[in-house]
Structure 1
Amino acid sequence: MIIPVTVATIAALCVAALGATITDLGPWYQALVKPDWNPPDVVFPMGWTVIYALVTVAGITAWRAAPTSAAAEWVIGLFALNGFLNISWSLIFFRLQRPDWAFFEVLLLWISILAMILYCGRFSRKAALLLLPYLAWVSFAASLNWAVVQLNGPFG
């Protein structure tokens, strides 16, 4: 079953590359007031690398464990939606420079991760467990996003 591995890996690399391309840590971002608990910028690419690897393995695991082709299509759809929301957050936060809007978008991203965990967990406990660090990471990111809004708003 090389197809799930290939598709999941290419999809994860595309999401990571698009997200990295959209992310701009230039003057606007550097000028934002951030909370004291904001990690150094170097932590984020390292964290995302681990997260993307776990999400890729979770996607492959869930796809292979899906009991029917319809269930496999749902796995693909949920992961695709999540990738779209992941990229959208970076676009809204960094390119549109709207952390306030990005906060509401990150809530949708969080819900999409929870949906992946719940759906995939029905037939693959391993896939669901592999997604838990992603949920934790995005929970932290959402808290950080909210703090940036509070410390810098209003935007627009």
Structure 2
Amino acid sequence: MKARWIITAVSAALFFGGSLLTSLRDPWFQNLQRPDWLTFEFLIPFIWIFVWACATISAIIVWERSSKRSRPWYLMGIYAAIALLTSIYSPIVVEFRSLIGGLIVGGLATVLVYILAFLVKPISQKASWLFLPYALWGPIGTYLTWLLIQLNPGVS
């Protein structure tokens, strides 16, 4: 089986696994006070699908551009860590009712994205550039979680 299919299958399992574990349509989450400017909340799942697809393509490129003798397993580990942290955001926020936990895992995933983009650049600039959507969206999502903490005192 080609590596690209394995990477895609693992990525999809983590992406949909986090969604299957919990739902952001949970009444507790839906009743949280939100900032007035958050008028595009319905687009967030589509934004994440795009971000996730770009990161998956980046992982495939890095794997395929590396030599068979020096496979970048540590880089694949960082890709997996980012995917895992991203996929557990919703379960942590909704199931554990922990906005602070969401802030931590979202922020950590975003920091790892910046590090990984830097590390993969010598292998493929394209793979590095594919992190741009996450690098832009990650801070927005983290900031939004921080705002939810501020707007809902006592909930975090």
TM-score by length of 1: 0.90
**Counterpart position of 1:17:** 16
Give me the whole-angstrom Cα distance separating, in 2, the residues matched to 1:7 and 1:153: 43
Q: Is the 8 A contact 2:24 2:30 kept in 1?
A: no
Q: In 2, Cα distance between the equivalents of 1:58 and 1:69?
A: 20
Give the CA RMSD over aligned residues: 1.7
| Secondary structure, counterpart of 1:42 in structure 2 | helix
What is residue 41 of structure 2 aligned with on the other side?
Answer: 41
Between 55-64 and 37-46, the greater mean CA deviation after superposition: 37-46
CA deviation profile, 1:33-77 (whole Å, cap 9, x unmatched): 001122433211111111121111111111112256445212211
Aligned to 1:87: 87
After superposition, the Cα gap between the structure-2 partners of 1:39 and 1:10, relative to the gap in structure 1 and judged at 3 Å, is farther
Flag structure 1 segments of 5+ consecutive residues without an equivalent: none
Return the alpha-carbon distance in structure 2 between the equivalents of residues 24 and 81 of structure 1. 22
Cα offset for 1:109? 0.9
**Residue number in structure 2 paired with 1:144:** 144
In 2: Cα distance, 1:49 partner to 1:12 partner: 11
The total of aligned residue pairs comes to 155
Q: Which blocks of at least 5 consecutive residues in structure 2 are unaligned?
A: none
Matched, 1:122 2:132: no
Give TM-score scaled by structure 2 length: 0.90
Q: What is aligned with 1:134?
A: 134
* Fraction of identical pairs, as percent: 22
Matched with 1:110 is: 110
3-state SS in 1 of match to 2:123:
coil
Residue 60 of structure 2 corresponds to 60
* Letter in structure 2 aligned against 1:98: S
Q: 1:73–1:16: structure 2 CA closer, same or farther, 3 Å change rule? A: same
Q: How far off is 1:131 after superposition?
A: 0.7
Tell me how far apart the structure 2 counterparts of residues 140 and 29 of structure 1 sit (CA, whole Å): 18
8 A contact 2:86–2:105 mirrored in 1: no
